[in-house]
Each structure stands twice: as C-alpha cells, then as structure tokens.
Structure 1
Amino acid sequence: MSATANVKIDYYELLMVSKTASDQELKTAYRKLAMQYHPDRNPDNPEAEEKFKACSEAYQVLSDPEKRAAYDRYGHAAFNGSSSGGGNPFQGGGFGGNAQDLGDIFGDLFGEMFNMGGQRQGSRVQRGRDLRYDLTIEFEEAVFGKEREINIRRAETCTDCRGTGAAKGKQPTTCPQCKGAGQMRFQQGFFSVARTCTQCNGTGTIITDPCKTCSGQTTVQKEHSILVKIPGGVEQDTRIRYQGEGESGKFGGPAGDLYVVLNVKPHSFFERDGDDLHCVMPISFPQATLGTEVKIETLHGPETIKVPEGTQSGREFKLRGKGVPHLNEHGKGDLIVEIRVATPTKLTKTQRDLMKQLEETMTVENEPQSRSIFSKVKDMFS
C-alpha cells in the first residue's frame, strides 16, 4: 500500500526489519526492495512504483536518528503536522539530510543513472582504448627469450589541435543544451535522473569549427614501433602488457595499454608440458636387447643416454635441467626421453635368416597367461 494513502503501513513492516534493526540492516533491506520495485525495472506497473515510493519514504525516516526517534514515539503522526515530533520528511528539498546515503545506494544499483550526490557525471576526459597484438614466435624463442620489434597502428593525439578537436586558434564551445554539464537532468518521482546529453555525447562541449587534420576527432592514426622483450619460459597465449602504449586518451585522459599475445609454433621433435619437455627416441631391437648409447640433441646441446640391456619399449629417461627455464625464476624443467623399440618392416634375406635362427632359440608360448606380459618378457630374456 502507498505511503501516501490514508492508511499507511508501518515503516518497519514495509522494510521487513525489526524495530531494533541497525543502520546497516536498514540499508541492506532497503537496497533489496529498491532493486525489486524500481520503476525502471517495472515499467507501466503503478503498484511497483507506489511500493518503491513507500519503501523510499520508510528508509528516509528510519535512517535519520532524529526522525526515527520521533516515529518510534508518535508513529506516522510525527510527520503529518498533528504532533510536535517533526515535520513532513519530504519537506524542504526532497531527501533532506540523507540524500547522500540514498545516492550511494542508487549509485551502486544503477551506475550513472542517478545523480544524487551533487557530483556531475559528464566528463570530457576519456581513457584511450587498449590494443591487442598477436605475435607468432618460434618454439626456441619461447624457451630462451627474444627481442622482437613490432609495428602497430594506433590513435594518437592530434598535434595540430593538441587534442581539442577544434581548428587552430579556435576552442570548443560550451554545449547549449546541457550548459557544459554533459548531462540532462529529469525529475522522476522523488529522484533526479541524469542522462547523457545527446548533443555533445557527454563531453559538455561542441566543436563548431573542427580541426582539418583530425576532422574534430582529437586523434589521428599513426604507425608506431615497439621493441617487445620476450622473457625465456613463456607459453602459448602469454600476454605481455605495455602500459600506456595503447591509443591516446581524449581531452587529457590517460592512454590505454598494449597487450602482446604470444602464439608459439610447435616443435618438430619436442613437446612441452609446463616447463618439462618430452620426446620419443627410437632404437632397434638389438639395441634394446643388448644395450647401447644413443645421442640426442637437446635444446641445450648434445647429450648421451645409456640404454641398459633388456630395455623395454616405453621406458623413460629423465635428463634433469634440460627443459624450459622457469619464467622469472631460477632453474629449468627436465627433458623426458621415451624409448620406443622400432620393429623393422622390411628385412633383407640375410636379416630374415638371422631372425629365424634367433626365433628358434627364443620360444614363447602364445597362450594367455595370468602373469603380465612384462613379467613374461623379463623371464624370456633372463
């Protein structure tokens, strides 16, 4: 029921709080109800608007210590002129002493829609846009780091008009519609609603004689070179931020930032897992059987791996510190080398005869066994 009707609902009941509710409890309760019943969220709903007004009136009274004390003592009669407890809570300029408190609430709820604290929202100052540059680098460049020069096109402050947008010797004029405020103010119920001025787009000024170089835009497109320093250990999609290297701001606003996003090419031999590297090293059946030494070219130079006799396909050897440097830290990851026993697909007559002779000396029962195949193979060669 409306707070302006003949019979008013108790303010505490309206806000659904107890009579001992703290200031924070009142504020929280009012915020929730204001979000629920605000006219902008309930267009063409007079009941919601009345509920919204009633809750606003209740919070206005209960959030003021003096008015709350008067209400607790005299009820609604404290504000209808029939008691000395106090005057109408909406006399003398709307929200009285708690306008800022209500402004804080609605500033949180609806951003720049409500201008209740007296601060002008329109402003000429605009921060420049952030830019993104996708840079493709080699696998080794990601591992060891690299310096790369890139060229970007970005909006920079026009030097002819010095960012004003007006022709030389001219200055922007105050917007006649909003009188330089950048906003148009409207009255909506109990609230003063501010909206961006449509004539100046919130800048508060208009340019009647635009700069010929930038056509009144205050910025021009220029190409700019930047040296990108890629640290060792970066990964795919790493973002490197260069503060202030984005587009120039307008009307004295700060420049945006540049984000260089790295795309790392895959390696033909190594695969990366965090700071560890993985690779596969094929060896022959005789090498796996008799043992051998194999040389491998790591990213840090050649290394030798001693493969013991009887090595099975899939066994891994770890070369510590031969992986990727830890980003912004000391140390490196490891290189994991997986041994794969290569089965020949083509044999000469001599090789085939030798394999037949070997087969005759190494018989294996081709029947399912309860023991694992690894145990069988181990016994076969023992």
Structure 2
Amino acid sequence: MFWKKLENIYRLGVKELWSLWRDPAMLFLIIFIFTFAVYSSASSTPETLNNAPIAIVDEDQSPLSQRIVSAFYPPYFTYPEMININEMDKGMDAGQYTFALNIPANFQRDVLAGKSSALQLNVDATRMTQAFSGSGYIQQMIQSEVNEFVAGYRTTSSLPVELELRAQFNPALEKKWFGSLMQIVNNVTMLSIILTGAALIREREHGTIEHLLVMPVTVFEIMLAKVWSMGVVVLIAASVSLHFVVMGLLDVPVQGSVALFICGAALSLFATTSMGIFLATMAKSMPQFGLLIVLILMPLQMLSGGTTPRENMPDIVQNIMFFAPTTHFVDMGQAILFRGAGIEVVWQPFLCMFLIGLVFFYFAFKRFKETIHTMA
C-alpha cells in the first residue's frame, strides 16, 4: 500500500511536469527570471555613482573655475559638457543632464577676498539614486578644490590613528556579487508560488481536476505530487542559474557548498509551494491569483532581510517575519553563499524552515481538501 502511494505521487508529479512542458508561457518565465533577470539585477542600476551626466556653466572663466571643471571625470561623472546659461534649463527639462553646475561671474575674486559666494547646482531628482549620492560628491569635490586653491598647495591631514579597512567576503565591494545571489533567492520564492498555484488553477480551468477525483488517488497524493514536481523544476533552474549565470557569466565566487544551499532551498520550497497551493484555492481565476501573489510576495521579499537588514526594521516587523520561510531562507543563503558557512552554522535556519513548512503544508492541505470536496 505504501509503495502504491509513492507510485501515485510519482506519476501525478510526472503529469504535472508534462503539463508544464506544454505551457510555453511558464517555460519562458522560468528561463527569463533565472537568466536575464538575474544578470540584469546584478549588472544594472548601480547603487554607487557611475557615469552621471553633468553640464557646467562657467561664467567666471578663472583658474579656480577651470580647476573645478577639471575635477569631474569618469567613472563617477561623464566629462563635463560646457554650456551657456540659456541651455541649462532646456537640457535639464530634456533629461540630458543629471547635474547642471552654474559657476557665477567673479567667483574666484570673491573667494580670494573672503567674501561669501554661492554656486548653483541643479539636480534631476527623478534619477533618485544618483541624485542623492551625486550631490554629496559634488559638494565635497568643490569644497576640496576651493580649499586647496586658497591654500596654494594640496595637502592631506595626518591623523594619529590609522584606520585599516577590511571588507570581509566581498573585498572589492562588488554590487553584482550581492545582487545576483539575492536575485536567485528571491526568484526561488517567487517561482515556486507561481508554478504550484498556476498548476492547480490550470487544472481547474481545463476541468482535469474532476478526472483526478474519480481516480484511486487521495487528496494528499495530489497535493504532494504538485509540491515535489514544481519544487524540482525550481531547484534545477536555480542550480543551472547559479553555475552558468552567476559563477560563469558574472564570474561571482561562491564561498560555500552549492549542494548545501540546494538542500536549504528544498526546505524553503516545501513551505512556499504549499503557500502557492493555498493561494490558488482562494483564487477563482488566474488574474485573482496574480493579485494575491502581489500582496503576499512583496512583503516576503522586502521584509525578509534580502533587501534591507532585518536589524533596521521595527521590532514588530522582525517578530512577524520570523514566521516567514523567506526570512530563514535569506539568512541561510547569505551564510552559505557569502560566508562559506557549514551545517553547524545554518542548522537553525534549516530547522525553522522545516517547521514552518510543516505548518504551511498542513493548512494548505486542509484548505485544498475542503476545496476538492466542494468541487466533488
């Protein structure tokens, strides 16, 4: 009897895989988010200032103004475009420049005379990340050039204490190291919920769920088949992306055991696939299911610690998110992939994901059983 149940679970899972294979939209989604989405997340939209376009209106035409102009160069800024005052507003309105600096006439004379003088910096705030960091860069650069010009020489202050900076696990502070690995973690959660929920809704819309009800299979076998089949698909896609996109194309070094990370991902999938089934039983159509995913997935990803450290969040948010599988999945993934941690370090996240998965699976099974009986 036990082996018969295992055979039923296996064959029902194979049926799910064949259904997925005949769904080109889902296949495209899997390939896209584990290839292009991972690569673009790691290599685009840098958090640091990078080649920000800047234009300068030099009405002073003095050695000091020329010194300020020459301070802007790649990789932080593009080479400054020298424009006149009439072109500044037009260029900002057209989105040609992120920054437009206006150096007024008699600027050097006022600085040398000790008079108060002001520069005007126009910032395109729609480019929020670069506008925020770039304005601070420009202020520091101008202040440094003015001080050195007034002093007549370039100097650096010497402190009695020397600070040696050691960046652990990411010596060059490469954003793509963090972005690519965290994107895989987020994609595992997102895709597992989508695939399992879509598989159930697809059967309901096509009427094949009624065929299953007349077969000698139990609700537990049907649900477990969906969990293992969609989980295997996500694990294979994540493994391929980790080896060929992250470690190969992006050349990101993975410190820990990939096999241990995949085992942890399987425990997280136990909970998230159950969550996908639960949401699918609540939705009556695929559009409703999509709206439910938005309401659930955004908090899971944004508050799990993958985007913002959990220590920066309010205590009530930290306490609530402790019962989310993504919190422990992110903790486990960062420890293994970034710091090379072993099972002796990550056994607690493993245990938490297993227990949370059991709870999620129970409620999803209960809801799925009620839905099946209602349809029968």
TM-score range, shorter chain: under 0.3
Structure showing the higher helix proportion among its residues: 2
Structure possessing the higher radius of gyration over alpha carbons: 1
TM-score norm. by structure 2 comes to: 0.24
Higher-strand-fraction structure:
1
